[in-house]
Structure 1
Amino acid sequence: MSKMILSFVVSITLFAQVSWAQMASTEAVFEQPVSVSTHEKVSQFVAREDVAKTFENMGVDPKMVEQRIALMSDEEVSKISSQIDTLPAGGDALGAIIGAAILIFIVLLITDVLGFTKVFGFTRAAR
């Protein structure tokens, strides 16, 4: 019983820390902050190749998007800029949750087959 609890706790703690990947800019590496206006930040984001391609797939002309950004108020642009800062860099967490569940299942299945635990009724211990 204690081995099962220990394996459960260890498998959960492996995925307890959430990490967000970010690009390390030259300014961050050399610790020289460079201020970029919110309009420039949003324009740079929209000018990225993947974002422009997404707009094209949706039938939106990237030049029209740039014109709309130029017409936005400072409050609207700062709101969009703050949303850009909080976007996760690797996608959604659903893939991580599914991966963790599969890993936990495999670990428990192996420990069942080896005879260390008895979690699943459909396995037989090798010992």
Structure 2
Amino acid sequence: MISIDSGAGLANATIQRRLVPVRLFYDFLMEEGLREFNPVGRGRYAPGRRNGGQQRGLVPRLAKLPWIPGEQRWLRVLEVAKNESVRNRVKLALAYDAALRREELCSLRTGHHPGAASATRSA
């Protein structure tokens, strides 16, 4: 059996998206009086429940946390970076120090200087 967070099979977001039409179909059947309940119902507020009053939906929503390297792996990254060009070492240091996203880092141009960054960057 494959669990949802095993990395095999469909992603959690894909499963959630595929359940929407099924859930809506059962909502329609309930409105028409052909079904008494929706087996693919949404999570709902349920007073008195342990987890903050929330009743889980059919498939729980998973949120992946970002991967953060441990100390040994980070030291290895720095060791490998020693052999890179000055440009790549500066980009690594800048990305780390300024917490830049990949897109922000890749959009930097060599000609950037402190005054140009504030003029070209949008909030």
Provide the TM-score with structure 1 as the length reference.
0.23
Which is richer in helix? 1
RCO higher in structure (CA 8 A, sep ≥6): 1
Provide the TM-score with structure 2 as the length reference.
0.24
